[in-house]
A and B are shown apart, each in its own frame.
Chain A
Amino acid sequence: MSTSRSHLEPALHRILQQLHPYLADLVIIGGWVPYLYKWYGLAMNWQSALSFTSEVDVLAPDRLPATTRLPLREILQAANLRPMNATGTAAVWEGDVERGEKIEFFVLRQGPFTKTASLAPIHEQPGLGAIALDKCQTFNARLSSATAEGAQKRIKDLLYLRDLMAAGSDIVERIRTDIMGYLPTEQHDVDSALNELHLILRPVKRTLIFDVAQMLAARDGVDTNSARADIEGYLTDLAELLEPFQSPRVQDPDFEYHDE
């Protein structure tokens, strides 16, 4: 895992230029976000190091009419990106991955929670799919054990959360403000996130923390013990940030956290 995205930024620019007709409907999420915030003015005092994968993660609405625009599939193909699912719909499109030419589409999951990641269509965009993303998927301990790839992604996601909390007081305040904006409609998600954080931080479940610490240690060049203390500290900070927003049900002293 590299710590510098700058050499991949031309590919990001190229992909965004190709997606230009749809940019008003799409939201960049994931690892590119802190980099963009840090270097393009919204959080220039970002203090923590950044880690990343080369792909561009994009959140799309589950229905995205082309209207007068070219369909997204054709735009992607014109940009020499190939679908990673040869049949049917594809959520992942790749060109020269080494240069950062990879894009993954996500949609917010509709309906009941499931324990496995699933592919969903983006309606009115033939051939284009998206990974259905549960808002609190990152925190769910069981998802990580499903596959090695899933486990690695969870570790990266937790490191990403750590980086957010380590980015400085301005960023943490912004997160706090954003969470306030989610309430009360997203109360369940805040409660779930806090529930999962408490589970991750429980002493008996520290193996996941250890995995994240190893990734941080390799990235930042610190010893594993320091990295583990760092991860535990910042995730505890995040839990404390969420606690004032938890629902009264969870604040009940008789309430017990549990695995989903």
Chain B
Amino acid sequence: MQAPLDQAFLHLKSVIPPQVVVEKEHNGYEQLTVLYRGQHGATSPVVRLAFQELPTEWTSTPDSPPDVVWVARDLSPEVRRRFRELGRSFISIRQGEVVIVHPALVIDRIAPKAVTVRTASTIDPFGPGPGRVVLALLNNALTPEPRAWGIRELAAYSGVDRTTTSDVVNTLAAYGLVTRENDPRKRGRGVTVRVQRVTALLDRWSATYDILRNPSITVHAPIGDPRAFLRRLPTILRDRSWALTLQAGASLIAPHASWERIHVYVDVQSHHELADIAIQQGWTTGESGKLTIMRPWYHFDFLRRIRTIDRLPVVDQAQLLIDLWSYPVRGREQAEHLLHQRNQMAPDAQTLPA
């Protein structure tokens, strides 16, 4: 479900004239601050409203200062009547009932049924489209000097529309995986999004994604020493875009455990093209083969997300970490080693929130 606070905000917008400006000032998990500027521009008073979710197990009508707007998914008629009597501001999402009782502003309206409330059930933040936002956030968190991204910059960087970006961020915030903070550069008009804990994000992400998501074939390529085979791969896969992942890729960045299987993403349009590669090379398929070639499930921006290490292409850090995180053959161990190495190289102030 989308956060109730965001749904309540949409209800408020739907019951006021379009020329009235309302905007989110600070969108946190527990509180949403809304600025109500009125329809007369600079001469209109600014009303600051604090949207707060009503505790599920409340026993008595809560006291509250006049700027607090209680938000609930479904308030009973009795409760709504009681809140009105006491002059409390509230928004009951299911009924679309918006009641604001403020010294400078009074609203008592029902949101039109035409209002469509986007629910997070339609957004899987780790899906192949929205996942671009998560990859961008994680890659940013892994850089020595992470940028302070607002929704607009994040949307532009990840190539996802702003609404989807916002939905992804809201969902991640609801999971407690990212924080949204006021952006001082924007004088109260924007937030910056940061990954709260890299490992928590990877844990949540790996619940819906693992390496098996990528269409793949495993082949008996002529591999003796796998490192020697890596040196031959650029010739074998010439004319194609490709990148190493899992242990083979990680070994080029922070070698850890010994490894013998090689996993390669190849920029192909279909699974059949993977088979074509195997046929061209004379490789037979078989699960005991040491080379797995995959069509990336996160196919977008594949070329942009490749980096070159020792003249070999490797996927970006976020893709590498999420591939490793749930890989059964010492994947988590290798991923943690990468994070550890990263932290050791980073200045103290930039230590990852792992």
Binding site for B on A (CB under 8 A): 162, 165-166, 169, 172, 203, 222-223, 225-226, 228-230, 232-237, 240
Contact = CB atoms under 8 A, between A and B. Distances in A.
18 contacts: A166-B225, A169-B225, A223-B286, A225-B286, A226-B286, A226-B288, A226-B289, A229-B220, A229-B290, A230-B224, A232-B222, A233-B223, A233-B225, A234-B224, A234-B225, A236-B232, A237-B224, A237-B225
Contacts of B225: 165-166, 169, 172, 233-234, 237
Interface residues of A, dominant DSSP: helix
B282 interface: yes
A165 B222 CA distance: 14
Residue among B224, B283, B284, B289 having the largest count of chain A Cβ atoms under 10 Å = B224
Interface residues of B, number: 16
A26 B283 CA distance: 45
Given A223-B288, A225-B289, A233-B229, A203 B222 contact: no
A230 B223 contact: yes
A169 B290 CA distance: 19
Residue among A172, A228, A237 having the largest count of chain B Cβ atoms under 10 Å = A237
Given A223-B286, A223-B288, A229 B222 contact: yes
B254 interface: no
A222 B288 contact: yes
Nearest to A169: B225
A235 B286 contact: no
B228 interface: yes
Contacts, number: 51
Given A203-B282, A236-B222, A229 B228 contact: no
B228 A228 contact: no
Nearest to B284: A225
A92 B134 CA distance: 71
A229 B229 CA distance: 12
B16 interface: no
B221 interface: yes
Contact of B221 (A229, A234, A237, A240): A229
- Which are the 9 A-B pairs with shortest beta-carbon distances? A234-B224, A233-B224, A232-B222, A229-B220, A237-B224, A233-B223, A233-B222, A225-B220, A237-B228
Contacts of A237: 224-225, 228
Contacts of B224: 162, 165-166, 230, 232-237
B285 to A, nearest CB: 9
Given A169-B225, A226-B220, A229-B222, 5 more contacts: A162-B224, A166-B225, A203-B282, A228-B220, A237-B225
Interface string B275-305: 0000000111010111000000000000000
A234 B232 CA distance: 13
A240 B222 contact: no
A228 B289 CA distance: 11
Contacts of B289: 225-226, 229
Nearest to B226: A233
Contacts of A229: 220-223, 283, 289-290
A165 B224 CA distance: 8
Contacts of A232: 222, 224
A161 to B, nearest CB: 11
B282 to A, nearest CB: 7
A203 B280 CA distance: 13
Contacts of A222: 288
Nearest to B222: A232
Interface string B227-247: 011001000000000000000
Nearest to A238: B224
A45 B220 CA distance: 27
Contacts of B286: 223, 225-226
A203 B222 CA distance: 12
A112 to B, nearest CB: 34
A30 B23 CA distance: 82
Contacts of B288: 222-223, 225-226
Contacts of B228: 233, 236-237, 240
A231 to B, nearest CB: 8
A42 B289 CA distance: 32
Contacts of B223: 229-230, 233
Residue among A166, A169, A225 having the largest count of chain B Cβ atoms under 10 Å = A225
Nearest to A230: B224
A209 to B, nearest CB: 9
Contacts of B221: 229, 233
A123 B225 CA distance: 43
